[in-house]
Amino acid sequence: MSLQTIDAKMLSKMFLAGAKNLENKKEWINELNVFPVPDGDTGTNMTMTIMSAAREVAALGDDGTMETICKAISSGSLRGARGNSGVILSQLFRGLTKGIKEETEISIPVFAAAFEKAVETAYKAVMKPKEGTILTVAKGAADKARELADDGVEDLETFFGGVLEHAKYVLSQTPEMLPVLKQAGVVDSGGQGLVEVMIGAYDAFLGKEIDLTVEPSAQSTVGMSAKSSYDVQAEADIKFGYCTEFIILLNKTFNIKMEMDFKAFLESIGDSIVCVADDDVVKVHVHTNDPGLAIQKALKYGALSNMKIDNMRLEHQEKLFKMSEKGAAEAIDLEETASPQAKDAEVKQAQTNEPAKEVGFIAVSVGEGINEIFKSLGVDYIIEGGQTMNPSTADILDAVDKVNAKTIFILPNNKNIILAANQAAELMTEKDLLVIPTKTIPQGITAVINYVPELSVDENEETMLQEIGNVKTGQVTYAVRDTMIDDKEITKGDYMGIGDKGILAVGRNMVDVTEQMISELVDDSSELISIYYGCDVEEEEAEALREDVANAYPSCDVELQYGGQPIYYYVISVE
């Protein structure tokens, strides 16, 4: 007999299978990126996003209900979202779970409505939705789901199969919607990622043999008991000494924003986090060096009960002495050096004793030299990342937690990080997080330089937005495959000069490509050319380039600075 509904257990299985299939295909999806750069990351970003949710779903095991599974999918993907494709995927899951979380079993009409809610939510998250992308594939799937539901289809196998086949068809048409895809000879990589999730989910529904094992993250032991998490901890150096458990008896609605904020705080002071919310209570488990911080934060949400704090270092010491008195004496050091996470907790504790300053800055940056430039300009916190590794929403929220300021400007410095930053701003409840949508490192540097402490937050925001629009950026890297883009034939191994809106120069000589790219950026109004050379460029080479550029454009000031960035030999800005 054909199935007409699915339960929570099947939903969990389908979601995990979809996540695993995407993970298996991530490198192939990376290669579908239009620009043949060595840091194509759509598959990686989508995988890290969905696996963040998959770990929370897997931790529920067979005890997961429709509501807890939906919460795990939504919360996990929102916090783990990386890159534009990852943020859009998380928003699709957010909308989908809103449509099914209150059901005990999901029927075709419910699925159709949930698919529509998913697309509506994702489109709202993107300021200027572009057709021919993951959004288009998702909308096509939702439209087909509605059509099948309205036609009275009752068999889920027919329904899922029809939705999947139509999603594949829409994906195949994306090159006709975006000329850049057609010229490059690829379909949209984000759309392909979504289809891979759907394929995995459908295979699980059909009962195919699938490995659903999900490796736990370094910061998550959701679902483990205090004893089992201690056993894992005993195998390694204990970074966080107190196993802290309690239940919060909620005195107000504990919504997803509060839950994510609380989890972010727990992760900033420890690891082995468990935070499972029900209607009236929240079960909390954390390993930390300062249980008081966790308790103080929890008291904002309600009264506490079932409190339990164990000193794991002492327990571990006793265990080792039983094994070997000599071995224990050599292995145990109760004055061990604090871990980076513990230091972060100490910083936060210090912050509670100091008044918050009015304005702070966070910048996403990569490269020793560029990091130092931002710090010298007064940026409070650097999130390591960028084109080669997009930070997640959770990474941004954690960074905000470490800056003791009432208002914080964040500089994403990459167009693929802006959505995650916006998502973090929406979820932040304790501070004002303002996103300056910088798409490149030079734009970020310009934004900070133009900040004036004497002006108001609104005036500074307006000034920075205006000034970053005057910055033109070019970046030099190499091609990892043959392709055709912007009517330029590119061969694997070619050097490419990539501007704000496309490829400006291609060739076999790096200096020639760089100088040609600069010529495309400079015009009669240009006054300043800044050159940031990467970790793979010798200082003498960079200095020779600076001299050539200075001679070619005598009316411009030409600055040379060490950036230390990987992948990109040169980052050039023209103002």
Round the CA-based radius of gyration of the chain to a whole number and report it. Answer: 26
Number of Cβ within a 10 Å radius of residue 242: 19
The Cα–Cα gap between 554 and 532 comes to: 19
- CA contacts within 13 A on the Cβ side of 22: 33
pLDDT at 337: 38
Question: Within its chain, how far is the Cα of 367 from the centroid?
Answer: 19
380: Cβ contacts below 8 Å, ≥ 6 apart: 360, 361, 362, 403, 405, 408
What angle separates helix 66-80 from helix 83-100, to the nearest 10 degrees? 160
The Cα–Cα gap between 569 and 565 comes to: 8
Question: Residue 156 carries which DSSP code?
Answer: H
Beta strands in 397-487 (DSSP E): 405-411, 432-435, 472-478, 483-485
Nearest to 397 by CA among 425, 364, 439: 425
Beta strands in 65-164 (DSSP E): 106-107
Is the whole-model pTM more than 0.85? no
- The parts of the chain modelled with pLDDT lower than 50 are 1, 218-236, 319-320, 323-343, 349
Sign for the pseudo-dihedral over CA of 506, 512, 516, 521: positive
Q: Which amino acid is it at 373?
A: I
What angle separates helix 42-60 from helix 8-30, to the nearest 10 degrees? 160
- The helices-and-strands tally (H runs, E runs) of the chain is 22, 18
pLDDT at 324: 46
The Cα–Cα gap between 177 and 128 comes to: 15
Domains and CATH numbers, the chain: 5-205 (1.25.40.340), 226-336 (3.30.70), 355-468 (3.40.50.510), 472-574 (3.30.1180.10)
pLDDT at 315: 56
Nearest to 518 by CA among 532, 535, 508: 532
